[in-house]
Structure 1
Amino acid sequence: MHVPATPAEEAVAVGLDGVRPALGPAYAAALGGARAAVLTRLWRALAFEPLPWVAAREGGPGSLTVLLAGGSRLEGPQPDAYATGPYVEELLLDGRPYRQAARLVAALGVPHGSEFATELDGSTASLALSRAGQPSARPDAAAPTTREWEQRVVDGHPYHPNCRSRPGFSVAEELAYAPEHRPVVELGLVAVRAEECLVTGEWPDRLRDGGRILVPVHPWQAAHVLGKEQVRAGFAAHPLMALRTLAPEGGGPHVKTALSTRLTSSVRNISGYSIETAAAVSAFAQSLSERLDGRLHITRTLGAATAHSPDLAAVLREPPEAYADTASGEQVLPVAALAAFPPARSAAWRAEFARLALSVCLRVLDLGVALEAHGQNLLVVLSPAGAPVRLVYRDLADIRISPARLRRHGLPVPPLSGRLVTDDIGVLRRKLYGSLLTGSLGATAGSAGAFAEAFAEAAGLPATADTGALLTGPLPTKALTLMRLSPGVPGDQWAELPNPLLPRPPAAR
């Protein structure tokens, strides 16, 4: 079935003609799969999120009908909330077929749908470009580096329709800066007088020039946002999964830069609050990890600096490889890369990983910290034989800390206030469950059935109230599409997913 190209799909094709025409055929071949991948993510949202213009949902044998407030009917296959592979190639709106998420959303005519449709169009085209740029066969490697594993995450967020949305990036810039294209990026430096900066932690001498702080900046930021700033030559680095976080080519701390464009859901600048709290949160996290018998390590924030602008700031962070014995054959993988790790496809391996991740993260929650343990922040250390042996967590900018729980365990409360601090049990549980269960573990399993199977084998979990809460109702997940369609509503919004961990009733006889 011929499907006419959308504006973004056509624009990428034209852009490739100008900068890398050899990729054109591969891009054209990847479009069908990219359309299905984004449409599948959108259908998950339409099936489960509390969208105000959805009047009802009616399930049938293998199908679902979404009834819209205006009287329209949207029909598709029965969704699996935890599936990561494309299973939707076409949806029917009042009997008319749609194979492109952008055109479907435009046809729905919902509030803010036009802007969202543009993002979905860009996400689809960018995803096809990402897939087109992959080598046909990877060279054998006994132990890829962590950076190489990160660059194998091609499809982005497993459940967000904006999985590859990169507004403001040209085709040339995607090829030059996106990790899945494996480039080397030249970071720039902006010199700012020390008295005009806020610096926390230890800022290294190599990033100082007399009385000035040298703030690393991403070249996209330098070109599109910091036009009036004097950017000097910096150093070469490899982009990681987060795109704006890079590993210097010569080794050393990872560099998190400001990137003032919306990737998936958020504009990726760096708030003053994150800089102010960076050192205190890092010190607190290190003390907490000491209580976990070596099963969880938290990368240290070594230094953070801002020129009192979210558009000109940077964070230096310890690389996760610091917590693995790579010389003996240990590897460190971000959880999002497990789809490219063949042993993770076995039920036994998934159960072992689920046991480790759940036991550690639930223990941390009981102590008083909810980690945002999604597939980018959470990494797993593998033994030389490929078994999951311990976890590494990075990026402390969006954890939640409960003073009451810390005090209950006799732990010191860090000198913090603001959005990181809460005793609200609902907020704490949503933060962890919505990232670990309906994020990392769900995506690693790839289906509700495989998720339930892995959990059933994950015995020995800590007996806490939080553990019990996993088995009493639906599981929370961020309502990512609702959030994109609610630009005036601050903060996270939530949906509830069917809980594959609940005991199933006996089959009727």
Structure 2
Amino acid sequence: MHRPHPTESDVAAELAVVRPDLESRYAAEVPGARAAVLTRLWRALAHEPLPWIAGRAPDRDGLTVRLRDGRLLHGPASDPYATGDRVTAVELDGVPYDHPARLVTALAVPHGAGFAAELAHSAASLALSRAGRGPVDEGWPGTDWEWEQRIVDGHPYHPNCRARPGFSVAEELAYGPEHRPLVELALVPVPAGECLMTGVWPDGLRDGGRLLLPVHPWQAAHVLKRGGERVLGAHPLMSLRTLAVPGGPHVKTALSARLTSSVRDISAYSIGFSAVLSEFAESLAARSEGLLHMTRTLGAATAHSPDLAAVLRESPQAHADQARGERVVPVAALATTGLPGSPDWLADFARLAVTAGLRLLDQGVALEAHGQNLLVVLSAGGAPLRLVYRDLADIRVSPARLRRHGIPVPELSGRVVTDDETTLRRKLFGSLVAGALASTAGSAPALRDALRTAVRDLPRTPDLAALLDEELPTKALTLMRLSPGVPGDQWTALPNPLH
């Protein structure tokens, strides 16, 4: 099998065989891709609680980071909410490094060798994504997958923003949404009696007494070592493993590869609770006074294996009024519209998102409302009207808060359920404010101005007080990659843009 972490030279060599027409474009994109990954890495070095960092101090030329062994890192002043390819070099004891992998190798920190390989792959893969992306259509796309395929750079703050270990260049071109392919999902037949199923499994994905489980072709080739008797054509969305069937549902497939931080299989736990969560989410949306829709989970099934499972969801486009010219846009794609460049538009969007998120949190549900899960319904003129949320697997539900509001508590258990205030606020604030809103604003000043308007007239709840007065939580993404023995999320605190 091909190398799990191909370097820039590996990608160039494969391109020479499979897509020689992209060689020159790829070479031209390499410096920008290195800077994009280095920018994300420098953000982590400037703000995350990495155990080998002793202190940080701003100076006239930027920021100096002192390591516990006495060495000094120096780079530009860090705006933790900024996006783009801003950092082109970081100095370690006066020696400049323009490649993130070489910088981590020189740091020689615990678990750094593996992380350096991931960074090298992320930069190489990002250059490939930028080289192979299709042209941005004039006007606004007419389909859900076209919106999703506009997102080329991946996670706005994760150094592994485009790491796809285990994928060859040919597979990235064949499956990456930025390359706009049509992917043929294998339909693997499994006896219904051998499956755990919730919701309704459609007749079109049945064959007598067997369920036809959609399987990603990468999964079929590398993990299951089998294909299906039939295939289903679908367009990949920004998560790569979730695809849109033309005229049909969105299909979330198991993909046992590490993308950014996580292996994307589908657990029996999430299958078992999917129908309960979907019904619960619909009841919450009905309480939102029109601010928020939740995409329904239509059906979910697993052959009692995280490697062979699928979830069918309705398209978020179902929540747009086509007759009025409305469209549903993933928050991650908003930057491609030019709309966030207007301070008034950004303030309106932030008010909508913060109002809906805090209201739901007060009632007892914390959304994982990052730019992939959160979508906004826009009017024909581009005004933000309401929100759509998808993928309920990572929300957090507080029974105590639900009871306080007289809301029936769903029959849930496991990691979804918690009454811990810190966990609930981290979930929402880290994904929505430090994630979706920050990356849409693109800088701390723009985020500050939008949030000031957004919170001005909100009821002063304890959650709002925490948002106003405390530092802003966000996942310590680099610390997590450098802590392979530590399970679960790790966190850091960013300067509150409202201070």
Question: What band does the TM-score fall into relative to the shorter chain?
Answer: over 0.9
Rounded Cα–Cα distance in structure 2 between residues aligned with 1:22 and 1:461: 54
Establish whether residue 21 from structure 1 lines up as the match of residue 17 from structure 2: no
Establish whether residue 152 from structure 1 lines up as the match of residue 146 from structure 2: no
SS in 1 for 2:106: helix
SS in 1 for 2:238: coil
> Would you say the 8 A contact 2:54–2:67 is kept in 1?
yes
Structure-1 residue corresponding to 2:121 = 122
Rounded Cα–Cα distance in structure 1 between residues aligned with 2:301 and 2:329: 28
Structure-1 residue corresponding to 2:45 = 46
TM-fit CA distance, 1:455: 1.3
Establish whether residue 242 from structure 1 lines up as the match of residue 224 from structure 2: no
- Using the size of structure 1 for normalisation, the TM-score is 0.95
Q: CA-to-partner distance for each residue in 1:409-440, whole Å, 9 max, x for gaps?
A: 00000001100000000000000000001000
Q: Which residue type is aligned with residue 316 of structure 2? A: P
> Would you say the 8 A contact 1:363–1:462 is kept in 2?
no
TM-fit CA distance, 1:232: 2.1
Match of 2:367 among 371, 381, 394: 371
SS in 1 for 2:392: coil
- In the alignment of these two chains, the number of paired residues is 494
TM-fit CA distance, 1:90: 0.3
Q: Which residue type is aligned with residue 448 of structure 1? A: A
Structure-2 residue corresponding to 1:109 = 108
Match of 2:322 among 323, 326, 348: 326
Structure-1 residue corresponding to 2:293 = 297
Establish whether residue 223 from structure 1 lines up as the match of residue 221 from structure 2: yes
Rounded Cα–Cα distance in structure 2 between residues aligned with 1:432 and 1:398: 11
Q: CA-to-partner distance for each residue in 1:272-302, whole Å, 9 max, x for gaps?
A: 1000100001000000110011110000011
Match of 2:465 among 463, 468, 471: 468
Once the two structures are overlaid, the 10-residue window that deviates more, 320-329 or 118-127, is 320-329
TM-fit CA distance, 1:230: 4.9
Q: Which residue type is aligned with residue 9 of structure 1? A: E
1:40-119 superposed matches below 5 A: 40-119=39-118
Establish whether residue 456 from structure 1 lines up as the match of residue 455 from structure 2: no
Q: CA-to-partner distance for each residue in 1:240-272, whole Å, 9 max, x for gaps?
A: 0110000013x1111000000000000000011
SS in 1 for 2:493: strand
Rounded Cα–Cα distance in structure 1 between residues aligned with 2:250 and 2:205: 14
Establish whether residue 491 from structure 1 lines up as the match of residue 488 from structure 2: yes
SS in 1 for 2:415: coil
SS in 1 for 2:393: coil
Rounded Cα–Cα distance in structure 2 between residues aligned with 1:202 and 1:269: 21
Structure-2 residue corresponding to 1:355 = 351
Once the two structures are overlaid, the 10-residue window that deviates more, 71-80 or 161-170, is 71-80
> Would you say the 8 A contact 1:143–1:331 is kept in 2?
no
Q: CA-to-partner distance for each residue in 1:293-334, whole Å, 9 max, x for gaps?
A: 111000001100001110000000010000001233111110
SS in 2 for 1:364: helix
Q: Which residue type is aligned with residue 257 of structure 2? A: T
Establish whether residue 382 from structure 1 lines up as the match of residue 381 from structure 2: no
Q: Which residue type is aligned with residue 435 of structure 1? A: S
Q: Which residue type is aligned with residue 289 of structure 1? A: A
> Would you say the 8 A contact 1:217–1:314 is kept in 2?
yes
Q: Which residue type is aligned with residue 313 of structure 2? A: R
TM-fit CA distance, 1:142: 4.7
230 and 10 in structure 1: CA distance in 2 versus 1, 3 angstrom threshold: closer
Q: CA-to-partner distance for each residue in 1:48-102, whole Å, 9 max, x for gaps?
A: 0000111111211241111112221111011000000122100001111100101
The CA RMSD measured in Å over matched residues stands at: 1.2
Unaligned stretches of 5+ residues in structure 1: 1-5, 503-509
Rounded Cα–Cα distance in structure 2 between residues aligned with 1:145 and 1:354: 25
Rounded Cα–Cα distance in structure 1 between residues aligned with 2:227 and 2:181: 24
Structure-1 residue corresponding to 2:475 = 478
Q: Which residue type is aligned with residue 481 of structure 1? A: T
TM-fit CA distance, 1:342: 1.1
Rounded Cα–Cα distance in structure 2 between residues aligned with 1:89 and 1:178: 26
> Would you say the 8 A contact 2:221–2:227 is kept in 1?
no
> Would you say the 8 A contact 2:141–2:147 is kept in 1?
no
Unaligned stretches of 5+ residues in structure 2: none
Q: Which residue type is aligned with residue 131 of structure 1? A: R
SS in 2 for 1:79: coil
Q: Which residue type is aligned with residue 457 of structure 1? A: T
TM-fit CA distance, 1:196: 1.2
TM-fit CA distance, 1:145: 2.3
Structure-1 residue corresponding to 2:34 = 35
- Using the size of structure 2 for normalisation, the TM-score is 0.97
> Would you say the 8 A contact 1:41–1:159 is kept in 2?
yes
Match of 1:190 among 180, 185, 188: 188
1:149-298 superposed matches below 5 A: 149-227=147-225, 229-249=226-246, 251-298=247-294
Rounded Cα–Cα distance in structure 1 between residues aligned with 2:219 and 2:401: 40
Rounded Cα–Cα distance in structure 2 between residues aligned with 1:18 and 1:47: 40
1:410-425 superposed matches below 5 A: 410-425=406-421
Q: Which residue type is aligned with residue 34 of structure 1? A: A
417 and 440 in structure 1: CA distance in 2 versus 1, 3 angstrom threshold: same
